[in-house]
Chain A
Amino acid sequence: MIERKPTGIRGLDAILCGGIPVDRATLVLGGPGAGKTVLAMQMLANAAIGDNERGLFVSFEEAPDDLIAHLQGFGWGLSQLVADGLITIIDARLGIDTEMTGSIELDGFLGMMAAQAQAFGATRLVLDGIDLLLAMQPDRGRLLQQLFRLVGTLRDLKLTTILTIKTDGLGGNLPVDAAQYIVDCVLALERRLEGDVSVATLRVLKARGAPVTTNRFPLAITEAGLELLYQDVNSAHQVFSDRVSSGVERLDTMMGGGLYRGTTALISGAPGTAKTTLAGAMVDAACRRGDRALFVSFDEAEDQIVRNLASVSLDLGHHRQSGLLRMVSMRSASASAQQHIHRLRTVAEEFQPAMLVIDPISALVKGGGKVIADSLVEMLVDFVKSQGITTIFTALIEGSDPEREITQTHVSTMADTWLHLTFVAHGGERNRALSVVKSRGSAHSSQVRELILTDRGPTLKDVYSSGGHVLMGTARLERENADMAEQLRSRFRRQHERVRVSAQLDELKARIALLTAEMGAKQAEQMGLDDFDRVMAEREVAAAGSVLVSRSADGR
């Protein structure tokens, strides 16, 4: 197991599994302007500042004074480090009056370096532009032998060393090829054009004894020096179980209660689908809660966004004044994506927002090729998650196949929540429709809703679904009206029915009354007949009696 020392360069230690091998040589290859010298000196400066390690910088190309002047702009305070004796720069340029005949050897050079390292107590060494030295040894066999000796000597001297070699300088590639086999760790710096934007990258070509990633990583040259735009996959993401409101009530419901804090959301859609407005609503909600929010817009001035959002009652200007909202506007073409990301990260680290909006992420990844863009987005997502920042990306989609298009930009796979906005054209209207494509860890609505921008902010409306069709806007209104009429009609019908039935009931009641009366009459009639019969019978008896009396008939 090779012991490693951190380089102190952000990202690089992570991909090198801890840093460069201790007491061994690391080779840095690169074309002119790729950042070899900066990288080498930065490692010395970091070691000096961080661990009080002393370093020896042997410059084969630049005068020490020039070197200090060039690198003074980086925030390491190089001239002070040199004054403090933590970094010693040795001028190893060959004078212009130097001639050469025959060949040289490295024995003397190594001997002197050993003596110097001992004199200064140096544990780190940089040989910057050693290709000039190696080029003086034209014989391949001798060169290899010398290189082996160089590397061996450095190990004996316990010097953690950086060798830099130009890959497309003068001379053949012999030293480069040979050196790559001999050293334990090789880094390649590249600078190339992606479109019109210059993109710097770093790749680990070789690292003995470490399972390193040999992908190309984007590199940003910043005021702090080189920075590898790489976020360690093992970096702890902050995971929260509480949710933050999106500021759109019904949207929260659709997402199962809002966005989880510290997650990322993607709002995609065609131009004009209110992506920025939706993001603005989320920012407004964050600031209302008293959280800090950072709104990064590309190619649109901050004031313009504030004005536009004010028209839908999102008063971002107020939050800006209170200091809770910081708005940063960037020009997508003014810098490479790496520089944008670096700046973004710097501002975010300083401002410590709870919410970050990048509007749109598509502009950010415009500068720099596809591969770079993907790893940048990945890095950015890792970064915001490690910081626990709830992040909203908007993404502009113009093509006819949005799902495929956005997936290609990789953002959608990285984001935890994906809201997609579309225009639905129907009946001579274009209406905004919102759907939740995904929402990790949440039971989310599968329904499409209509997004309406009101003077009280954005809000969602149920869409009318009928017979497999989703209706919005006027179509939805018409449909709703038709339904209303139908309801009224049926209410009238029922009322009418009720009246008719009650009339029939009344009629029946009347008939019952009549019949009762008739029955009374009949009963009376019946009673009358009975009385008559009885009277007649009595009379008959009485009559019979009087006859007997008159006949003086004998009694019975």
Chain B
Amino acid sequence: MRALFIVFGKEFLENLRDRRTLLSALLFGPLFGPLMFGLIISRTLEQSVLESDVPLKLTISGSHFAPGLTRYLESRGAKLTRRELSENEARAAVRGRSAQIVLLVPEIYPKLFAAAKPAPVLLFADSADSQTRKIADRARNMLGIYANTVAQLRLEVRGVSPLLTAPLAVNDVDVATPTGRAVLVLGFMTYFVLFGLLMGGLYLAIDSTAGERERGSLEALLSLPVARAALVGGKVLAACAYMCISLALSLTAFVWVFRFVPLEKLGMSANLGAGTALIFFAICLPFVPVGATLMTFIASFTRSYREAQTYLTTVLLVPTLPIAFASVYSLKPTSKLMFIPSLSQHLLMTSVLKDEPIARLDILISAAASLSVALLLFTLTARHWKRETMLG
């Protein structure tokens, strides 16, 4: 046990003195996620807030054929540009981007409208362009409301109750809490938390195994009267320590970043204060030894620093798999899923974000399962270190 702490102390100190390693472990890793996340989210939120305020811009041709429709659109705040275009010209205008969308009222419109038959209007838009697709949707929506109003008036004029055309009255009842809605936006944040955690120990795991071999200090170390498990234990423990530090930094950065993200504008609140950050830390803590042992295990098989780096960067992606799986199948937290490290942490953190109650048992299962995986990986690593092939 004494040897374990000696190894731990030395690895911790050595990593602390390596500026490059420290930068990636304690700066790049934990800050990259929160910053990028904050930037992207505040951009998207600002945009969606802006869009609903901006008036609909619409190029209309043949407006004199449909004065009622034109008046209606203007009364709903649409900015109309009047141009007289043929069908082909309208198509060319949208394609050539001289107009975003064009509403064309053909000559035949007034005649059919007067006869209470379906009167055609043509809406030109480029559905491949996400920006104009949104505008076209808004225009279609307005046209639909107009058509509905006219239909009801026509029925009333003929002495028929317009209610006959509405056999159902569908009412949407949205039970999503404001924080629940925010989770859609924050869904991937949990990955960045786990990413930051893993980055903290990445270079230490490489340096204390593959680095030790490449440097040529491994053989001398292995010829000491120290149990191999104590050597591995000290190295894993040092990686754990750095992972804890970077996890704490990462969560602090998230709390800080979310103070500047305008979630309230959409009627959401990010349930991410210092208290939540502490709960997140507790939830992620059992995942720390999983990351540390997994990285040490894999790096122990590699011959050089470079080789280890290649394999371990893929390990950084490992926690994404269950999280991606969870979002594709929109998994709900169940006790069974708590047996999977990284997925269980993701689900628990998401529940906390949503302000949902968490079963205490689930937290226990998540922690116990993660620690068991870590113990298994540690045993495998220690066993590998006892082999002769360890010398390389």
Say whether A and B bind each other. Answer: no
B contact residues vs A (CB 8 Å cutoff)? none
Query: A residues bordering B, Cβ < 8 Å?
Result: none
